[in-house]
Structure 1
Amino acid sequence: MLLVTLAATSALAFLYYGGETLFANPPRGEFERYGMPKIRVFVGSMQLVGAAGVALGIFVAPLGAAAAGGLTLMMLLGLAARYKIRDAPRLMVPAGTLAILNATLVYLFVTH
């Protein structure tokens, strides 16, 4: 039950963030601020793919582990980018939380 709840939480969060990254205006400015405007579409697409992989991982655990691992890495890189541009720690909370969530999912998918 914990695995399903956490996987659903991650999948829904990344469906939202992936759609936002691809289609909303505020993330465009954020990627400019990070100095990485050319990777916005890639990041948004990978967030959507990761969300699907985590959701499907409920039925195919190795797929879920790979997707959650990729999302963990993405969030750690996002934290590094925010740290590099000296963002306030409060702005790092979502990425940090999602990194921990997805790292936990990797463990749960592998040990499931």
Structure 2
Amino acid sequence: MTADDSFGRLDDDDYPAYTMGRAAEMLNTTQGFLRAIGEARLITPPRSPGGHRRYSRYQLRIAARARELVDGGTPIEAAILEDQLEEAQRINAEHQQGLKPGSTPPAA
């Protein structure tokens, strides 16, 4: 892998670049909260070779949304279901538009 390949990953929303400690700090939450949403399978961070969880920017956005809902009084289980429903609706809308899930629509 070249240095250019490594730097290219910085633009990848799915690249697991953040440690649990850094992710918790960025979200102004606890590592326990991140573990809880992981155990509930809202996000499934991959593990480093040393066994540490690593989070992508995409996963951090999901965690931030869950945190907003929980801070607003929504139980974590309901926050997870709400997020899963929102994701399913997004995928369904993309499917109806003839897009591959996760791709961007063509420019008009």
Which structure has the highest helix share of the two?
1
What's the TM-score, normalizing by structure 2? Answer: 0.35
Could you say which structure has the larger radius of gyration? 2
